[in-house]
């Protein structure tokens, strides 16, 4: 049951990420920072793409993925069309990975110790959902502040 709800939530909010990035008519603004805003919307998007593809797509879904976390925060000027394509691909990977999990695996430990101790798949997936939405909110704020 939890997996079904997580699938719905990730599906909905990855679509929200797509719409946020799509709403930038000036691609240059995607990569801007200002004052206390240290991460651009483009870099936050790259971070979300890398995070979920590594932790869910690769580890739980078996998709081939090599994460470049440094690029997520240092990379610049990735075309908006590429970000949108990657978001659509992420949605497919996330849904496939979560649909491919047996509900009985939700209480088993996540394959890696990310925070220095074992945690259940349930705990980590809920953590990842919260992390995703934290950065999605930052992207929304960035867009409204720098791209009125």
Q: What are phi and psi of 54, to 5 degrees?
A: -75, -50
Residues in contact with 2: Cβ distance below 8 Å, sequence separation at least 6, in sequence order: 103, 106, 122, 125
C-alpha radius of gyration, the chain, whole number: 15
In the three-class reduction of DSSP (H, G, I as helix; E, B as strand; rest coil), residue 68 is classed as coil
Give the range of the structural domain holding residue 28, as residue numbers without chain letter: 2-146
In this structure, are residues 127 and 136 in contact, taking their beta carbons and an 8 Å threshold? Answer: no
Count of structural domains, the chain = 1
In this structure, are residues 21 and 80 in contact, taking their beta carbons and an 8 Å threshold? Answer: yes
Q: Which residue has the tokens 């993925």?
A: 65
Residues 125, 103: Cα–Cα separation, whole Å:
13
Give the pLDDT confidence of 123-145 residue by residue, as tens digits: 999 999 999 999 999 999 999 99
Give the pLDDT confidence of 34-74 residue by residue, as tens digits: 888 889 999 999 999 999 999 999 999 999 999 999 999 99
pLDDT of residue 117: 95
User: 55: closest CA among 104, 5, 123?
Assistant: 123
Element (H, E) at 60: none
Residues 22, 1: Cα–Cα separation, whole Å:
32
In this structure, are residues 147 and 21 in contact, taking their beta carbons and an 8 Å threshold? Answer: no
Domain of residue 130, CATH code: 1.20.120.450
Give the pLDDT confidence of 60-110 residue by residue, as tens digits: 999 999 999 999 999 999 999 999 999 999 999 999 999 999 999 999 999
């Amino acid at each position: 049951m939890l997996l079904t709800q997580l699938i719905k939530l990730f599906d909905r909010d990855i679509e929200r990420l797509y719409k946020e990035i799509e709403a930038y008519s000036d691609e240059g603004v995607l990569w801007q920072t200002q004052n206390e805003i240290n991460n651009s919307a483009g870099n936050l998007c790259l971070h979300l793409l890398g995070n979920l593809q590594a932790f869910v797509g690769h580890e739980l879904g078996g998709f081939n993925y090599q994460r470049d976390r440094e690029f997520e925060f240092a990379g610049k000027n990735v075309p908006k069309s590429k970000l949108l394509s990657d978001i659509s691909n992420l949605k497919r990977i996330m849904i496939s990975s979560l649909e491919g999990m047996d509900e009985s695996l939700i209480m088993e430990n996540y394959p890696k110790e990310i925070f220095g101790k074992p945690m259940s798949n349930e705990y980590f997936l809920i953590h990842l959902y919260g992390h995703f939405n934290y950065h999605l909110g930052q992207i929304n704020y960035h867009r409204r502040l720098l791209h009125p």
